[in-house]
A and B are shown apart, each in its own frame.
Chain A
Amino acid sequence: MLVDDDVPQLVTAASRGDQGAWNAIVDRYLPLVYSVTRAYRLSRSDAEDVNQTVWLRLVEHLDHLREPRALPKWILTTARHECSRLTRAGRREQPVDPLTDRALGGAVGDEVVEADLLRAERQQSLRDGLAQLRPADRRLLVLLAEDPPRSYREISELTGMPIGSIGPTRARCLERLRETPAVRALLAGESAAAHTRGDRDERAPTPQRR
C-alpha cells in the first residue's frame, strides 16, 4: 500500500490537534480495520473493541510516526495483532483437533484468513487510488461502482454527461486509476510477486521470503 501526498499532511495536522484531519484519516482507513476484523471472523463486539483499540493507539502514536507513509502498514499490523491475539485466546477454549492442532467446529482455516487479509489490502489500495484521482473522475467511478449498478441513463442525469460519452470516459477514468501511485504499486507488486516472489516490501513478510 502506498499513500498519496495528502496523508503525511493529514498526520501532521492531526498531531497538532486538528480533528478534521483526524476524521479524514479515520474515513480513509476505517474500512481497512473493519476488513481485518472480518477476515478474522470476529464477533461484532470484539470487532468494536479491536477498532477502538487501534484508533486509541494511533492517537497515542501520532507524534511518534516518523514516516507517515508507513501509516496504512502500521494500522494493518496493529489490527492484525489485536485480532490474532483474540483468535488465539478463543482457541484455547475451543475443542482442538489433536492431529492438526486446529480448532474444531466452524473455525476457518488460516489460509482463508490470509486470503481475506490480502483482499483487504488490495481493496485499500484501490480506495487509495480512487482518492488520488481528480474529483470528477472519482465521482464517475464511484457511481459506476455502486451496488446495485446504476444505469447509464441515471449516471447521465446525475453527472450531466451525455450517455454516449459515459463509456469512453469510464475507460479513460479506469486508465487513470491504473496510473495512480497506489494502484500502480499494487499492480507492480503483483507482477513482481508472480515472477520472483520478490520485492513487496510494503507488505508483511511472507513465508516465502524467510
Chain B
Amino acid sequence: MSAHPRPNGDDPLLAELAEAWSAARAVPESMRVAARAAFAWRTVGEGLELLVLAHDSALVTDAGDVRAAPSDGPRELTFRGAALSVELEVGADVMGRLVPPRPGRVTLAGTHGVLAEADADALGCFRLTRPDCGPVRVVCRTDDAAVSTGWIRL
C-alpha cells in the first residue's frame, strides 16, 4: 500500500523548496558554461585602467520602475578614469570621444576577440560599428594612457 502518494505536497515550505530546486535545475547548461568561462577574463584587463561607469542614460530612472519612460534619442554612457575618460553615444553606430580630447587607438573587444578598431582623431572623436549582441569592452590607448571600459552590452 502506498501511503505517500505525494510526499512533498503537505508542507508549504517543502512545496516551495521543490519549486526552488526545480527552478535551479531548469538553468540551461550553456549558461553555466558561459558563467564559469567568464573567469578566464579575470586577468585580461591587467595593464589597463578599468574605467568607472559614471553615467548611463539607460539607467537614470530607478531600476525598480520598469515602466519608466525610456529617454528619447541614443543611449549615452560616460566612463571615467584618472587621466582619460570615454564618452559613448550608441545609435546606429557607436560614436565616441576621448576626454580630454586627444588622438588614440580604440578597440571594441568581444569575448571572442576584436570586433572593430578605429583611430580617435585629434579631438578624440571616433566611430565604431555597433556590435550585434553580446557583451563588449571598449579599450582606448593614447600616448600616456591605456584604459578599458567594463563589460557592457551596447
Contacts and interface: CB of A to CB of B under 8 A. Distances in A.
B91 interface: no
Contacts of B45: 60
Interface in B97-139: 111, 133-135
Interface stretch (A4-12, A88-96, A190-198): A88-96
B145 interface: no
Given A60-B50, A177-B13, A91 B63 contact: no
A29 B137 CA distance: 24
A34 B26 contact: yes
Contacts, number: 168
Given A110-B66, A123-B23, A204-B64, A56 B17 contact: no
Interface residues of A, number: 72
Nearest to A40: B66
Contact of B63 (A81, A141, A145, A146): A81
Given A34-B27, A150-B7, A77 B151 contact: no
B23 A53 contact: no
A173 B39 CA distance: 35
A170 B14 CA distance: 9
Interface in A157-187: 166, 170, 174, 177-178
Interface residues of B, number: 52
Interface in B1-34: 2-4, 6-9, 11, 13-14, 16-24, 26-28, 30-32, 34
A91 B47 CA distance: 40
A136 to B, nearest CB: 16
B17 A145 contact: yes
Contacts of A204: 63-64
Contacts of A17: 42-43
A55 B63 contact: no
A48 B135 CA distance: 10
Contacts of A77: 63
21 contacts: A26-B35, A31-B20, A34-B26, A34-B27, A40-B66, A56-B41, A56-B111, A56-B135, A60-B150, A84-B66, A86-B153, A87-B66, A126-B20, A142-B21, A145-B14, A145-B18, A145-B22, A149-B9, A149-B18, A152-B7, A174-B13
Given A30-B32, A85-B59, A126-B13, 12 more contacts: A19-B39, A22-B39, A31-B23, A48-B31, A51-B34, A87-B66, A101-B67, A101-B69, A130-B21, A145-B17, A147-B21, A170-B7
